[in-house]
Each structure stands twice: as C-alpha cells, then as structure tokens.
Structure 1
C-alpha cells in the first residue's frame, strides 16, 4: 500500500493515463474488498490511505500529506505559500519545507524511522532555514526532545492523525549560512537573489560562475539573504498554478501532486486515471 503513493505510480499515470504498477500493487492488498462495487481508482487511493494513516503503519508520505493538508493548505494556502520537498540543505535533503513569511523546514520521523541521523540533519537545516521543526510519532517525541537543541521545534502526529505542537521553533534567520543557501539554489535563483539585494553580478565565463556567485553570497548578511531567498523561491517554486489540478484529485493524492513533478500537459491523464472504475483499472496489469 505504501508503494501505491510512490512517484512510479504517479508518473506512470501521467505518461499513460493508467498504471499497470498500481493494478499489480492493489492486487496484493485487500483494498478492492474495502471498496464499493462502483468505486473508482481515486476512491481506492483514499481507502488505502485510510489504512496507512493508522498509527503503526505510517510512513513518510502519510506525514507529508498531514503537513500538506493541515499546514500548507490549512494554516496557509497555495496562493500565499510554497512547499519544497527533498530540498538540498548542506549535506542533507530536507523532507519538506514551507515558505511563507519565513522559511520553515520539517524533518519527518515516522514510526519506521530511526533518530540516529537527526542531530546532523538539524545542524544542516539551520544553515538554510530560519525555523526548524521535527514532526514525529508519539513514540518518538521523547527521543526527539532529548536529541535536538531547545531552539528546534517539535510536533507530533497523533494516532488520530492530528498535528500538535509540543515545542515551538525559534525564528532565527540570523544563523543561516549564505554560502550553504547558495548551494541549495538554481543558478538563476541565486542571481535573482543577489540582484534583489543590490549586488552587482559580474559577467564571467560559465567555468567561473559557480565560484564567483558563491563568493558573493558568502559576504552577505544572513538575515538579508534569508528574506531574499524566501521572496525569490515563493515566485520560482510557486504552487498556485497547480490549484485546479489538485482540486480534481482525491485528497490522498494532494501531497503527491504538489511534490512529484509532471508536465502540465499530463495533468488530464492523471485525472482520467483516478476517475477510472476500479474494476476496469485492475485490467491495467
């Protein structure tokens, strides 16, 4: 059931308007038996998610979906905030970050995860994001509190699929490392940030461009870089154009739609795939 929400299934539906992988995976579960006779593929996804979000079975996707619905689309909206997934931050990749007035990163520690790498991950995230949270299962909260510094926020996803804040994160844009931020960006984004701060960007050969841009970032004020980064990424990674697409999908696939990149021309194929009667979809295999 976990693999039903993988990028492989989502992209297969985007390319073909169907997913043989979905049909094969569903055949290995009892989800079809949980659905009505006239159920669609979308309703099967929702049924599978209903099982997966039960405490003890939850993986990273369940936590990402909770943050998507309850923070990105609950506290904020697709028109005012943007979400980054698998975003490079130093030597690590951030599970999920939301940019609104500030940049907030969320490290997911599900029931299936270990806390062994957590201290190092948090240290890397502080170089890029003003606010750092760890969102964990009830069983992990005590261990998280013992592992991370007091300026790191801690959230809990309850057995009832509710997010509560155990400890608020401090908003500290002053502690980021501008050079590390630069390494997380596309070259065009880096140039936009520098120019928005009034920094002249010299015209140099491509072989020298990376070193020159990094050098320029390295001497900037951390808080100013953070403000410019948030403004720039909210524009370059804008999710508002996906609103209509997301609204046409079952809620269990919203997190996938906002984090797995597919061509806009393929959106209708995905919508048609999830609207397919489940009986017909089983023949995709």
Structure 2
C-alpha cells in the first residue's frame, strides 16, 4: 500500500513515547485520536479496536521505501530478543548514549550486541563515526539496514561489523556475522554508558573497593578506578550487573497483552507497573470510542 507523505508521518508518530505515556497515565490519548484522524479510517482498513489500529498503522509503514526506525526496532524485538532469546536471559536497551552517538538497540545476554539501524529513510553519513564508537563500547557490533542500503553499508562497515537486512517480507537476513570481541572495548567509553551506581556494582563484583569520598568527588574516583580495569573482565562484570539492573523479565505478562505492533514500544518506553493495566485497557478500547479521546 502506498501511503501519502503526511499520512505516513502520522502513522509513524502513532508509535511515539508520547502516545504510549498518555494511554498509560490517562487510559486514553488525545494525540492518538488526532493522528488517527490524520491517517484516515480508510488507511486503517477494518480496524475495530485501538489495538487493531496500531497493527494496521504498522502494516502501512512496513512497505519498503517507507519504513521508519520503529519498524526495524519492532522487528529486532520480535525476531531477535523474543525469537532467539527471551526476557529470562536477555534485555533490550534503546537509545544508549555512546560518545557522541546514540546506539539504536543493544541486546544483553551472554555478551553485548548493538544494532545500528539504517532504514531506507536514513543517511549513511554518520555511520563510520558511529561504528568507531560502538566498537569501543560493545563486544558485538551490527548494522541492520534495507536492501537499498546494503551495498553502501558493505563498503563502509569494517569486516568485524555484522550486517543484517530487513527484507521486503519483513524478515531479518544475516548477511555477515559480527566478530564478538570484548578485548577491543575501551573502559572509558564503556563507563559512559552506565549509571554511576551500576559502575560501582561492576567494580565491587571485580573486588575493587570504592573509597568513601564526598559526592562531588565520587564520579571522578569511580571513573578512574573503572578505567584501570581489564576490558574483558569489565565487560563480563557489566553484563552481569545490567542483566539485573535493566532486566525486563517483569514485562512478560504485559507484553502478552499487547499487539505485536507495540512490542518495541513496550520494551523501550518505561511504564510503571501500576499503569500497565490502564494501558492494556486503552488498547482494547473500541476505535469508534477512541476517535473521540480528548
């Protein structure tokens, strides 16, 4: 289905954190109602509920040439995190700050694996610098892109970087495997990806005591100690800590009550446990009622 530019933009914004938060906090979303109006009921096919509308909207932006970053994130969540792994053994982080870049998706299981998304709507201009940064922070680095960008990505990405393609049927194909190499990680870069308390836990797990210092000095002291450690040991410690501090195991029941189209949104948008039932009720709302949310 070819989608007009304005309708495509509205369908893409439907999956924003703003819509998700409104439904969780209020049980409704005026932004959702406005975007559905912009998209047009005819584009949502036979959608009966809010859940159906999300699925139809995702389908409309899954057409090659129109796919947004969200389409790729949802595919990674469904086919890699929940397909190859599980929430018992892995966690998915999004928008992880690494030096001057933000890693789109990071999956933590027995190692750290980053997926940089380059959809057909993205430029590859920043890719070399992004990959340089990610190779200093993660053991396994991948680019997931479209068939249209594949040849250029092959030219840009170092041989140790894995390449995946989200094909026209929405399946992820592995073109080249990533080299898993925690030895190349730079402790200073890895430290920047953590919360200070997480860094302290990593050091503690390595048997390194953090001295009692004033709060104004704590960050610098922890950073200096962290940067003295060996990359492989640090990486193992970080994986152990983050799989506990960033665990998503508690989301299993929540995810099972949401449509396929909202998998990535649920995994990347923090929602308080007390708001989850309200959000589930919101997505079950009849669309004719939700169109009047205000």
Sort the TM-score into its range (normalised by shorter chain): over 0.9
Q: Deviations over 1:27-65 (max 9, x none)?
A: 11134554437x110011001111111111100000000
In structure 2, the partner of 1:126 is: 135
Which of residues 208, 227, 235 in structure 2 aligns to 1:199? 208
Distance in 1 (CA, whole Å) between partners of 2:41 and 2:167 is: 24
**2:250 aligned with 1:217:** no
**Contact 2:44 2:57 survives alignment (8 Å):** no
1:127-206 matches, cutoff 5 A: 127-206=136-215
Matches of 2:44 and 2:91, distance apart in 1: 35
Q: Which residue of 2 aligns with 1:83?
A: 92
Distance 2:41 2:222 in 1: 52
What is the TM-score with the length of structure 1 in the denominator? 0.97
Indicate how the Cα distance of structure 1 residues 33 and 163 shifts in structure 2: closer, same or farther if over 3 A, else same.
closer
Structure 2 SS opposite 1:284: coil
Q: What CA deviation, in whole Å up to 9, does each residue of 1:123-144 have, x standing for no partner?
A: 1111110000000000001111
Q: Could you report, residue by residue, the CA deviation over 1:231-251 in whole angstroms, capped at 9, with x for unpaired residues?
A: 110110000001111111111
Please give the residue correspondences for 1:90-105 in structure 2 after superposition, counting only pairs within 5 Å.
Answer: 90-105=99-114
Match status 1:20 vs 2:56: no
Q: How many residues align?
A: 284
For 1:225 and 1:30, the matched residues in 2 are separated by: 51
Verify the 8 A CA contact 1:177 1:222 in the aligned structure 2. yes
Q: TM-score, normalised by structure 2?
A: 0.95
Structure 1 vs Structure 2 CA RMSD: 1.1
Distance in 1, Cα, partners of 2:238 & 2:150: 31
Instruction: Identify if the C-alpha distance between structure 1 residues 33 and 107 changes in structure 2 by more than 3 Å, giving closer, same or farther.
Output: closer
Which consecutive unaligned segments of at least 5 residues does structure 1 have?
none
SS in 2 for 1:199: coil
* Residue of 205, 229, 238 corresponding to 2:247: 238
What is the DSSP-based 3-state SS (H/G/I as helix, E as strand, rest coil) of the residue aligned with 1:204? Answer: coil
